[in-house]
Amino acid sequence: MYGPDQQSTENPSTLAALDGVRVLDVSTLFAGPLAATFLGDFGADVVKVEHPRRPDAARGHGPQKNGASLWWKTLGRNKRDVTIDLSNPEGAEVLLRLVADADVMIENFRPGTLERWGLSPDRLFAANPRLILARVTAFGQFGPYSSRPGFGSLAEAMSGFAALTGEPDGPPTLPPFGLADGIAALATAYAIMVALRGAQRDGRGQVVDMAIIEPILMMLGGQITAWDQLGIVQPRVGNRSVNNAPRNVYRSQDGVWLAVSTSSQSIAERVMRLVGRGDVVDEEWFATGHDRAQHADELDAAVQGWIGQRDAAEVVAAFEEANAAISPVYDVRGVVDDPQYRALETVVRVEDEDLGLVAMQNVLFRMSRTPGSIRWPGRRHGQDTEAVLGELGYSDAELAALREAGAI
């Protein structure tokens, strides 16, 4: 692996786990493309397909530098970039030639769009029976909402996440980033790997129907079962938890916010002894996280009173010595400077043709034998069109004709 101040490089003696897997990323904003990024990070040959005259909308999201999208450098990493107008019949034929040699295609158009362009699943499977077609949409391929426009924010609202987030006397709160999209991206990458295993066994591809409203719902735990069995609707509790206490953010004497979690009984006992309230440990209600949560006011007051009289460094050191769980609340500066993230090499610097060395998140996990890597950041719009189509046998004259027709 590589350190935070080094460029990422491939180890030529080690094949990545997904080396030889070919992925077409025909998606945008944000779950589909991020799923493709996860596959590319571990060696898949990902070809990003953009419209020739309308670059991916993600290129316009977030800060820009020298005309380059900084978010795109991460989202588009490890992908070759081509332009094809899929609504153009000649462009659709180009895609079919790419599909014939691909293992996976990821798309997120509204249901019926590919069919309208003559690129239905039946036609794609005719070109490649082993293809895994991952269709990522807000609401899925069928049902009363399937034709509606939708984004991750709607999934965060519909799933119940927003209703649980925020202070009890405040409004429901949406996250300031693509949480539902990110969870759906992980689920999509997982679904693709499951489908690839099935194709490896019987040689047949299939459609993966990923509705962004569903994976985030699974992350919210047993709420549906609790509603079904007990009629419980979990309330908004701010930074507290309905499952344990103390669990909150507390401000130190020097103004640093610190997060404390006591998900396990032993940690809860250590925290309360550390802050001078070991007496509550023997209370009958202290024996379970659910019952402790009913006494959150008393427990929070004790923890905040103790933390508020000390600087953050002293608090963290005392919690560490007591083997209790605590962390400062970071912004991005704290993340980049944190020694644990540095040890894990979570942030790396990658050479970019537009910006020089660029810092970004590393691949999601470490593997001892077939590690992932960042081979290059997001490419320029259509940068690899000639190279990729040339691999399919298109001549210079044919490429020129396709450009003249507006197909690429």
**Catalytic residue numbers, as ranges:** 181
- The answer to whether the Cα torsion of 275, 279, 285, 287 is positive or negative is positive
Nearest to 318 by CA among 253, 265, 240, 248: 253
β-pairing, 64-65 vs 68-69, is: antiparallel
Separation of first and last alpha carbons in the chain: 38
Cis peptide before 30 (omega within 30 of 0): yes
How many CB atoms sit inside 10 A of residue 337's CB? 11
CA distance 111 to 148: 9
CB 103 within 8 A of CB 21: yes
- The answer to whether the Cα torsion of 186, 191, 197, 203 is positive or negative is negative
CA distance 75 to 33: 7
β-pairing, 79-83 vs 45-50, is: parallel
Alpha-carbon separation of residue 88 from 28, 95, 104, 114 (angstroms): 19, 11, 22, 12
